[in-house]
Amino acid sequence: MRTFIHDQPALRVVFGDGRLADLPAEADRLGLKRLLVLSTPEQKEAGETALRLLGSRAAGLHAQARMHVPIEIAETARAEATRLQADGTAAIGGGTTTGLAKAIALELDLPSIAVPTTYAGSEMTSIYGLTADGEKKTGRAEKVRPKTVIYDPTLTYGMPPRLSATSGMNALAHCVESLYAADTTPIIQLYAADSIRAFARSLPVILREPTNAAARADAHYAAWLAGIALDRTVMGLHHKLCHTLGGSFDLPHADVHTVILPHATAYNSAAAPEAMRIIAAALGVEDAARGLYDLAKKLGAPVSLAEIGMKEADLDRAADLATRTPYPNPRPVERAPLRQLLDDAYHGRPPR
């Protein structure tokens, strides 16, 4: 008989088309009166919308979030929050913007409302990341978890097709690894399976029709479930490898996840048969790893490390870095098969 501990922290989720309009009421509910709105420079307009909605509850807009939270960016944002006497943050954007809110919460204890506009899932987690001297370090702290999350699928209509596809694959990776994690639970398995099902049916529609309301809502719902799966389980080979490749070779986050996922799944296939059965059934295919590869291809997403800027000469160093410290994974992580995995991923071959 299986045993498990299922422990899920409380977090309020407001979901639905147009629910960004609830932002002021959600701020009131948390007793926040001076929110610093955060966004990237590219999504400044969305930040301005949030600022207008908050009206007198807004302390200002700081549109300077940058991928992987460089420490200088975090420090500037913290200084701005202090200068404006902000009592909380409202982060509107993808994982990059949520990440900046977390960096502020980590030092200044400011609660945040997250309004995610991608499928990265960071809004559901207590995981933060900061990059200093070219190295990204991650950690966990309960205080960085957003207090309230507003999912408004209409905010994802403008997400470029490529980011929609790769961000979806990034979320699928959370589901895959949560299914074979040693600390998975029956509830997480339900979340992961339904998330995979919802992504598999919605992403192809989104690629054809980016403003399809039903498909965008389906995908945002799937991202929510995937975010919980990421938060509640310990990730394995796939996430470690992507962290190494992204951090050490400066490759785009969601792209790396997309390329590696089928190969990491294949690597663990024989060691995690129950997870593979659930993934394949949710995708409606025979083989989990091949199904993920075919989905990425169908979405026109990258399938090789070569096409996203990795150099073949760096594959040996990547294999060394990824096997330097041990971590939990269903199949032992050994250098020779990992090097083979990287070679397949580099050339964009189907997973073995």
**Residues in contact with ligand NAD by the rule CB under 6 A:** 40, 42-43, 67-68, 93-97, 99, 117-118, 120-122, 125, 127-129, 155-156, 158-159, 163, 167, 170, 230, 253-254
Amino acid identity, position 268: N
**C-beta of 4: minimal distance to ligand NAD in Å?**
22
Kindly tell me which of 255 and 344 has the beta carbon lying closer to ligand NAD: 255
**C-beta of 284: minimal distance to ligand NAD in Å?**
26
Nearest in space to 150 (alpha carbons), one of 11, 52, 15: 15
253-to-245, 259, 308 alpha-carbon distances in Å: 9, 10, 10
Kindly tell me which of 58 and 163 has the beta carbon lying closer to ligand NAD: 163
**C-beta of 290: minimal distance to ligand NAD in Å?**
25
Using DSSP bridges, classify how beta strands 135-140 and 112-116 pair: parallel, antiparallel or unpaired: unpaired
Kindly tell me which of 72 and 312 has the beta carbon lying closer to ligand NAD: 72
Using DSSP bridges, classify how beta strands 148-151 and 12-15 pair: parallel, antiparallel or unpaired: parallel
Kindly tell me which of 93 and 291 has the beta carbon lying closer to ligand NAD: 93
Gap between the terminal Cα atoms of the chain:
32
| E strand or H helix that includes residue 169 | helix 161-180
320-to-25, 240, 311, 336 alpha-carbon distances in Å: 51, 13, 15, 10
Q: Distance between CA atoms of 195 and 134, rounded to whole angstroms?
A: 33
**C-beta of 227: minimal distance to ligand NAD in Å?**
7
Kindly tell me which of 156 and 202 has the beta carbon lying closer to ligand NAD: 156
